[in-house]
Structure 1
């Protein structure tokens, strides 16, 4: 049996609803930071005052099994946000799992407590121990604190320090991302239930109305081949079905909350969006991308995002060519092949945080390219460790900007020589 988003939301009547977005809230935000809501004007993101906004920030994962932002057993929310602010960053890409919203619906509108979530993810002994560390570092929380209340607190601290929140749906089932065989790869994959995804997007968009710092949302992280489902892969993994689903996803967000910008990601782990940019057929169909036709009433809310992990590249030429041809061409309407102009952000790139890795071609070329394009970006990743990743608890993240206990920079050389200059050369707003 199939249900529309409206009918699914109707099931929640009397428990929690998607209310109408109040214009007084919009007016208030126009008069104070972040001066929203944002819109897209050609190849630029603009605030309500007409200022150009360029994100320069880091990914802060919250889509793992515990389903709260990582690292809070080691540092306070204020401490993590302050670390990013000290670099001059103006944004975070905050990730979440649809499973969190599924749980809320299954529990009659009641969210799971953080205490229970730690125990569910890490086991009784380890979960309790890590939870106690979480409370020690974040004493404003208690045994009744829920997962969404932690997200609320992150958003509130970001507003306090004027850090834009880009809310990213990373996974459906909470886990480390990404694999073609993890059940989360494509619309209709084992754990990627489209109706739940639409419901989850709408729920978070509605919930985010209370977040002053929320200025944009994504539809889905790193769409990819559903290798465990040969029928789905052969019949549905294509640009035609991508277009049908992203139109529905974007509408779910915009209907629930018309304020945030909406980021569209591409195929093959979000490494290319070329047919969108060049206006070629969305195969195997013949339809072409149309912002006005496909997203009526909010065509000025759309942004493109891609990822790049060509870490073994030997020179800038291949990286630059790929970045341009697979997405950033959209920022060049003067190119005769560009049919649809958009802002484009590199929402993931990253590398080992050593004293020298940032000086190799991959990192240095991307930094130069982003500065040249005046393009927005989020580095992967701020996390020095994870509550759990792929079955290993307290997992060390060697790509993390922060050390294992999130207390200091893992590579001070990169911070001073590479990251701070990149922020200074790109961030606006």
Structure 2
């Protein structure tokens, strides 16, 4: 997610919401078929999801100092979502494989927050989630989240957000591009394979995995930095997809693009004038029936006229599902979002209205940023508030009422577009 302003939550709403509209999950495994994601019976599947961050400094899912996992997942289900994009950092896997094993909650909170604050937050987490102890590991927390998502019939989409755990995404953070300061490509592929294998045996609704969040130009000048080209993208993304498919052939594999995942058009078309050596044909790979494209779109003030705005989106790859040549494929908008406070009026902005209308009409999957009302720590600020959060600062109620009503309408419209 691009850097966004933080504001303080001033109101708290805890209103009853309708049950999830989609009902029981369609059967796994999922596959891609032309422009559609389909279930094990060949029926089209909408991805209607929300992002749940777990890739920052503490390296486990946010919000547990305020609510139990079951309560958080309950809100996800009640709001109407059928999928969660759960983010993780490769650093967690590196610790497991290279640095003596996974880190406990006690130690990871102390490292991220300091001894005093880490101890306080740990006690709050354990009070809300008594199944854990100070010695519970980070991956065991992911396991518990996955178990609850399955219990409440929600697909788990795992997303590799960063290599080094931190808030994402800046051009100079060392996580931007292949070979960047913290972006060791060998360990990245290893980490994806590890998580794909681990989830296969432990996560009942593990349906898909995103190879990398918001690939972008790096300004670090790291000596191992690879050229910022689509040919480089192809080399590493296809290698990672092959490794994931070998580890867990049931998973859908989401491919992000360049420019903070706003541009996927060369991946859709299979070529680009900007890189004459680039040629990409999905059908030639063994995971062709697992290929999904993902894209991010935040309000950049491009145009307030929906027809003009939609034309711009099509130029950057939103035509993936209708392309008559190249790599026609399912498309999921894995990040979009806005300030969720009613006072902001963002839920009724031209951006929100035009984008949601476009996604529904084109029958695209989507995952809004973000569930989190606050973070353990974000860019050095502890207990940081998130104005884009669907939930309030304490994760106990909704941040806005009118904003939530507007979102629920989009959820209903998306399911209706799929005949559900």
Aligned counterpart in structure 1 of residue 112 of structure 2, from 111, 116, 121: 121
Distance 1:241 1:306 in 2: 19
The one of 314, 322, 329 aligned to 1:332: 322
Matched, 1:400 2:389: yes
In the alignment, structure 1 residue 229 sits paired with structure 2 residue 216 = no
Q: 1:282 to 1:135 in 2, by over 3 A?
A: farther
Matched ranges for 1:65-80 at <5 A: 65-80=57-72
Gap regions ≥5 residues in structure 1 = 1-31
Deviation at 1:275, TM superposition (A): 1.1
After TM superposition, give the deviation of residue 315 of structure 1 in Å.
2.5
The residue that corresponds to 2:43 in the other structure is 51
Distance 1:86 1:225 in 2: 39
Match of 1:103 in 2: 95
Output aligned runs, 1:235-384, within 5 Å. Answer: 236-281=227-272, 283-293=274-284, 295=285, 297-312=286-301, 313-334=303-324, 338-355=325-342, 356-384=345-373
Measured in 1, the distance between the counterparts of 2:223 and 2:264 equals 24
Question: 1-side partners of 2:364 and 2:34: how far apart?
Answer: 13
- Specify the alignment match of 1:41 in structure 2: 33
**1:254 to 1:282, Cα distance in 2 relative to 1, 3 A:** farther
CA distance in 1, matches of 2:300, 2:341: 14
- Paired residues in the alignment total 390
Deviations 1:231-289 (A, max 9, x none): 766x6111010000001110111111111100000000000111121222485342411
1:68-88 deviation per Cα after TM superposition (whole angstroms, max 9, x unaligned): 100010011111111111111
- Using the TM superposition, name which of 267-276 and 308-317 deviates more: 308-317
Indicate the residue corresponding to 1:10 in structure 2: none
Contact preservation (8 Å) 2:26, 2:45: no
**SS of residue in 2 equivalent to 1:263:** strand
Once residues 291 and 356 of structure 2 are traced to their aligned partners in structure 1, the CA distance between those partners, rounded to angstroms, is 24
Within 2, Cα distance between the matches of 1:142 and 1:348? 33
| Per-residue CA distance 1:286-306 (angstroms, 9 max, x = gap) | 24111122x2x2211000001
Deviations 1:30-55 (A, max 9, x none): xx955111111100000111111111
1:63 equivalent among 55, 58, 65: 55
1:83 aligns with 2:75: yes
Q: Give distance in 2, aligned partners of 1:333 and 1:308.
A: 20
User: Secondary structure of 1:331's match?
Assistant: coil
Check the 8 A contact 1:282/1:288 in 2, yes or no: no
Of residues 161-170 and 275-284 in structure 1, the stretch that sits farther from structure 2 once superposed is 275-284
Alpha-carbon distance in structure 2 between the residues aligned to 1:167 and 1:309 = 21
More helix by share: 1
Q: Which of 165, 170, 173 does residue 179 from structure 1 map onto? A: 170
1:212 is aligned to: 204
- Hey, what does 1:143 align to over in structure 2? 134
Matched, 1:423 2:400: no
Give the 4+ runs in structure 1 shifted more than 6 A. Answer: 230-233
CA distance in 1: counterparts of 2:273 and 2:159, whole angstroms: 25
Secondary structure of 2:259's counterpart equals helix
Relative to the length of structure 2, the TM-score reads 0.90
Equivalent residue number for residue 20 of structure 1: none
Contact 2:25 2:82 in 1 (8 A): no
Partner Cα separation in structure 1 for residue 327 and residue 243 of structure 2 = 23
Please give the alpha-carbon distance, in whole angstroms, between the structure 2 residues aligned to 1:370 and 1:192: 32
Q: CA deviation at 1:208?
A: 0.6
How far apart in 1 are the matches of 2:66 and 2:137?
19
SS state at 1:196 partner: helix
Q: Is the 8 A contact 1:34 1:212 kept in 2?
A: no
- TM-score normalised by the chain length of structure 1: 0.88
Check whether the contact 1:71–1:406 (CA below 8 A) recurs between aligned residues. Answer: yes
| Alpha-carbon separation, structure 2, partners of 1:131 and 1:292 | 48
> How many angstroms apart in 1 are the aligned matches of 2:230 and 2:138?
35
2:361 and 2:224 map into 1 onto residues whose CA distance is 40
Q: Say which SS state the counterpart of residue 131 (structure 2) adopts.
A: coil
1:158 aligns to what?
Answer: 149
C-alpha separation between the residues in 2 aligned to 1:283 and 1:379?
Answer: 31
